[in-house]
Amino acid sequence: METNSGNRIEAYFDNSATTPVYPEVRDLVVRLMEEDYGNPSSLHLKGVEAARYVTDAREKMARLMKVMPKEIVFTSGGTESNNMALIGGALANRRAGNKIITTEVEHASVGSPVSFLEDMGFEVVRIGVDSKGVINVDELVDAVDDNTIIVSVMYVNNEIGSVMPVQDIAKRIKEKNPAVLFHVDAIQAFGKYVIYPGRMGIDMMSVSSHKFHGPKGVGALYIRDRVKVKPVIYGGGQQNGMRSGTENVPGIAGMALAAEMTYRDLDEKVRHMREVKQHLIDELTGIEEVYSNSGDAPHIASITFKGVRSEVMLHALEERGVYVSSGSACSSNKHSTSGTLKAIGLPPEKLESTLRFSFSPENTIEQVDYAVQCCKELLPVLRRYVRKK
């Protein structure tokens, strides 16, 4: 299918779900699978070579965060990192208190383990957000008391791109209770912001490789030295007992290379993503009954197309080679209403008509113009169809 102008291009705007792997990362992963395929726990040369890749990757990730290599634990991705931080942190510090504070707009990989802990008897406080998806820091700090052991706040919201003031939160909660552990889900922020968790007062921070052009199935958790976290996976005692299981050497090495490449010329990449995002918002909100719910992150735009269900619009765009999301990729195939969109106060007719466009430095203004033209052509047809029904 083509636009009336006769031009069709492919426009992938679902980079918050996953990003294409850098070619250099792909080549490294393939080489490690075909040639340097040893088990890093083996004592022979192949094992020693594999272990060296893991050590180098840990040093690279630590260097980018300006932390110590021993503070990096490799995981299977953002979900495991969040589970390890929350469940492992809560169980290890239960004698110090029983209260966990988080927000109403967290990703399911934070929300679900927090609910699990609540079922185990932990007290959970969920702080609401304003119409822009940002929490009231005063309200969060007021909830902190001597019984609080963990505060968990996402850096960038994965659906609308709101940015939480994590450094201010860290400072203020530590002033009130220095023993509180501050966990940050930085899965949508890493690779878009320069983040030095140790300097920012963050005790645990989760990242996920495939959000910044690395392979899927690998992530990392920063755990500040001397922070107590119980392992959630037991077995052979790899990674100093913190995360048992044979390390995913190709994935770990690929993630570290992707992180290095992502942070090269980061300012220019972020500037470009902001330009592409703003152009999309400006053009789309010029269409009748199209609204933006977008936060300040450089790479996420939340757009409401009033009068058309999000899934209908998503598939109509897909037929024209434009790929977007109707919410969090981890749960968008489940037909449930977005908790984030509810939390910012969208009315029911907008809740079901909102799409997420998310960008990488590879996206272009030309792709945006093509997507906007598709929307202009599709919306009148889809809206008439809905009204006739």
Domain identity same for 17 and 28: no
pLDDT at position 1 is: 40
Indicate whether 253 and 316 sit together in one domain: no
d(CA 57, CA 48): 14
Q: What pLDDT sits at residue 7?
A: 66
Q: pLDDT 10s per residue in the chain (389 long)?
A: 445 545 679 999 999 999 999 999 999 999 999 999 999 999 999 999 999 999 999 999 999 999 999 999 999 999 999 999 999 999 999 999 999 999 999 999 999 999 999 999 999 999 999 999 999 999 999 999 999 999 999 999 999 999 999 999 999 999 999 999 999 999 999 999 999 999 999 999 999 999 999 999 999 999 999 999 999 999 999 999 999 999 999 999 999 999 999 999 999 999 999 999 999 999 999 999 999 999 999 999 999 999 999 999 999 999 999 999 986 555 444 555 678 999 999 999 899 999 999 999 999 999 999 999 999 999 999 998 765 54
What CATH number corresponds to the domain at position 278?
A: 3.90.1150.10
Contacts of 83 (CB under 8 A, 6+ apart): 109, 113, 232
C-alpha span between 81 and 88 (Å, rounded): 10
Same domain, 238 and 337: no
User: Token digits for 254?
Assistant: 């690929």
For residue 4, being part of any structural domain is answered with no
- Does the annotation count 374 as an active-site position? no
Is 331 found in the same domain as 189? no
Of 203, 230, 263, the residue that ends a domain is 263
201 and 343 share one domain = no
Residue with tokens 């992530």: 219
Domain match, 205 and 117 both: yes
Residues 292, 257 share a domain: no
Residue 240 in tokens: 């100093």
SS3 labels along the chain: CCCCCCCCCCEECECCCCCCCCHHHHHHHHHHHHCCCCCCCCCCHHHHHHHHHHHHHHHHHHHHHCCCHHHEEEECCHHHHHHHHHHHHHHHCHHHCCEEEEECCCCHHHHHHHHHHHHCCCEEEEECECCCCCECHHHHHHHCCCCEEEEEEECECCCCCCECCHHHHHHHHHHHCCCCEEEEECCCCECCECCCHHHHCCCEEEEEHHHCCCCCCCEEEEECCCCCCCCCCCCCCCCCCCCCCCCCHHHHHHHHHHHHHHHCCHHHHHHHHHHHHHHHHHHHCCCCCEEECCCCCCCEEEEEECCCCHHHHHHHHHCCCEECECCCCCCCCCCCCCHHHHHCCCCHHHHCCEEEEECCCCCCHHHHHHHHHHHHHHHHHHHHHHHHC
User: In b/e form, how buried is each residue of 311-346, taking b as 16+ CB within 10 angstroms?
Assistant: ebbbebbeebbbbbbbbbeebbeeeeebbbbebbeb
Is 75 inside a domain boundary?
A: yes
Residue 62 within a domain: yes
For residue 42, being part of any structural domain is answered with yes
> Is the distance from CB of 252 to CB of 218 less than 8 angstroms?
yes
Which residue, 47, 128, 4, 62, is CA-closest to 260? 62
The catalytic residue among 329, 330, 364, 373 is 330
Same domain, 253 and 359: no
301 lies in a domain? yes
Range of 174's domain? 23-263
| Residue 55 and residue 41 in one domain | yes
The residue among 263, 291, 325 that closes a domain is: 263
pLDDT given for residue 227 in this prediction: 98
Domain of residue 133, CATH code: 3.40.640.10
pLDDT at 386: 63
> Identity (one letter) of the amino acid at 147?
N
Q: Do 232 and 343 sit in the same domain of this protein?
A: no
- Contact 126/71 with Cβ under 8 angstroms? no
Report if residue 121 sits inside a domain. yes
- Of 9, 10, 32, which Cα lies nearest the Cα of 20? 10
Given the DSSP bridges, would you call strands 72-75 and 219-223 parallel, antiparallel or unpaired? antiparallel
Residue finishing a domain among 263, 280, 308? 263
Query: In the beta sheet, which residues pair with residue 260?
Result: none
Residue with tokens 């792997």: 21
Residue 63 main-chain phi, psi, to 5 deg? -65, -40
Indicate whether 61 and 117 sit together in one domain.
yes
With respect to residue 78, please indicate whether it lies within any of the assigned structural domains: yes
| Distance set, CA 234 to CA 36, 110, 245 (Å) | 26, 21, 8
What pLDDT is stored for residue 385 in this prediction? 74
Report the number of distinct structural domains present in the chain. 2
Structure tokens at 183: 């966990």
- Establish if 6 belongs to a structural domain: no
**301 contacts 295 by C-beta, under 8 angstroms:** no
The reply to whether 55 and 148 lie within a common domain is: yes
